[in-house]
Amino acid sequence: MSKTVIAGNWKMFKTQAETLEFLQGFLGHLNDTPDDREIVLCVPFTALGVLSKNLHGSRVKIGAQNVHWEDSGAYTGEISAPMLVEVGVRYVVIGHSERRQYFGETDQTVNLRLKAAQKHGLIPILCVGETKEQRGAGETESLITLQLKQDLVDIDQSNLVIAYEPIWAIGTGDTCEAKEANRIIGLIRSQLSNPEVPIQYGGSVKPENIDEIMAQPEINGALVGGASLSPEGFARIVNYQ
């Protein structure tokens, strides 16, 4: 059985003060959340310390949104795995489409970052997914197959989460049909050497659609952007029925 992982991806949102405010509104909603759901908050670097100071004794795991492949060096603007581990980070998002689109991330750099994360015991959340044009051209399956092939070279599949995020569904309110997300996630699973890798769906997940998404047999969790910024909204998502 794959683990269930529900992760919030805050992107470039929330100051330290706003992070504290979120925790005050969110943590009280987790008393009845089933134990077998892993809850993760992937936050900006400046909010990581706030989480590590305020999540003691809580079940919420800390996640980052990027990691460099070297342990240290002249890489202005980057952050290394040992730095993340030191502040209590357990998960790290790698290869998000926004990194690929705006910051020149390639399957080769994604692979290097995945290796560095695993070397230091971090669990990577690898994002894959197609654009609207690729979907329109019937290239979804081949594109995802290629991403997986290149991203997963020499990667340990016992320490990995994958997120299927169709780019056209991210931040658009245009969710992928739950059945179609289930189909693509099944396709992703068929290409893995370890079928137990948790595979999330991401792209306009919200309180209104989480129950249907999580009812799909292949879907093991969600990567949630906009809707993870609201303590009540994200609580409803982790407490899906």
Q: Which parts of this chain interact with ligand PGA (CB under 6 A)?
A: 9, 165, 170-171, 202-205, 223-227
Nearer to ligand PGA, 83 or 223 (CB): 223
Asked whether the beta carbons of 237 and 207 are under 8 A apart, the reply is yes
Asked whether the beta carbons of 166 and 130 are under 8 A apart, the reply is yes
Nearer to ligand PGA, 165 or 190 (CB): 165
**Bridge partners, 39 (sequence order):** 6
Shortest distance in whole angstroms from residue 165 CB to ligand PGA: 6
Nearer to ligand PGA, 11 or 68 (CB): 11
Shortest distance in whole angstroms from residue 144 CB to ligand PGA: 16
Nearer to ligand PGA, 56 or 188 (CB): 188
Shortest distance in whole angstroms from residue 222 CB to ligand PGA: 8
**Bridge partners, 5 (sequence order):** 38, 221
* Minimal CB distance residue for ligand PGA: 225
Asked whether the beta carbons of 115 and 69 are under 8 A apart, the reply is yes
Active site residues: 96, 165
Asked whether the beta carbons of 116 and 94 are under 8 A apart, the reply is no
* DSSP symbols for 80-124: BHHHHHHTTEEEEEES-HHHHHHS---HHHHHHHHHHHHHTT-EE
Shortest distance in whole angstroms from residue 163 CB to ligand PGA: 7
Name the one residue in this structure whose structure tokens are 């994604």: 110
